[in-house]
Every structure is written in structure tokens, then in C-alpha cells.
Amino acid sequence: MDALTGDVEQYSDFFAALEKTSPVPIGFEKIEGGAHGYYHLEDKRIALDEGMSELQTLKTAIHEIAHAKLHALPEKEENEVIEDDRPDNRTREVQAESVAYTVCQHFGIDTSDYSFGYVAGWSSGKETEELKASLEV
């Protein structure tokens, strides 16, 4: 899937607002393997790939913030064991990208060229009820 290209009006203000609303710190690093970003569960941080377009950077930041808000593991006491009852990885990806698409659309930023293919790929084989449940989230 091709990365999004292009600049975004008021990019620095938009990115600063994302940093303020993110529940975890956001940083940039060189990410190998084609991923544009990731949410690190244990370190509680978001990494974004260096050198992406403004459009891809904002969309990816929103996607990873969605992971941080929706899919973080609960806090635990020392030596406490907490069951990971998060949805499966495919469902988490559909949810995060759907949030990213919706937030971008709200601000007049079109990510459909990327988001539609991404969601379709991760939701392939899912039942309609499973997808509806993700919309509820």
C-alpha cells in the first residue's frame, strides 16, 4: 500500500494538538520493515517513522493514539498478573485505522486512498457482527 503524500495546512499546530491529547509521548525514529509507526505497550510511547509526508505523519499519529487510548493494557501493581482481554490484532488495527480516518475526515483531511485499503485488508474474513462491534468501540 502506497504511503499518503502531501502537506497539511497548519501541520505544526495540528501535530502539537495531537501531542497534547496523546496519553503517551510521541517521538520519531527510523522504523525498519515498512511500518509507519507503533504504540509500545510496555514503554507507553508512540514511535513515528522519520521522513514521512505531513499527511502520513498526522494520520499515523492519530492511528497510534487510538491504539494507546483503546488498546493499552490496564495498570497493574508489582507482581500482579493481568489478563490481556484486548481484541485480537486484526480487530485492533481495524479500530485504530477507522478512528484515524474519521478524525482526519472531521478536519477535512482525506485519507481514504490509504485507509480504505488498510481497513479492508485487516477486516478480510471478519463477520459483519464483528465489524459492527468494532464500530461500537
What is the per-residue DSSP string for 114-130?
A: HHHHHHHHHHTT--HHH
Q: Are the beta carbons of 67 and 48 closer than 8 angstroms?
A: no
pLDDT given at position 119 = 81
Closest CA to 45 of 62, 64, 32: 64
Q: Helices marked H in the chain — which ranges?
A: 11-21, 54-70, 89-106, 112-123, 128-136
What's the pLDDT at 49?
Answer: 97
10-residue mean pLDDT series, the chain (137 residues): 89 97 97 94 94 97 95 70 67 90 94 86 72 68
- Say what the pTM is: 0.86
**Whole-number pLDDT of residue 100:** 94
Say how many C-beta atoms besides its own lie within 10 A of residue 82's C-beta.
10
Predicted local distance difference test score (pLDDT) of residue 126: 67
Specify the amino acid at residue 85. D
Q: How many CA atoms lie within 13 A of 45 on its CB side?
A: 8
What pLDDT does residue 77 have? 66
| Predicted pLDDT of residue 121 | 80
Note the pLDDT of residue 41. 87
pLDDT of residue 54: 97
Give the per-residue pLDDT at 122: 74
User: Which residues does 7 contact at the CB level (< 8 Å), separation at least 6?
Assistant: 53, 54, 55
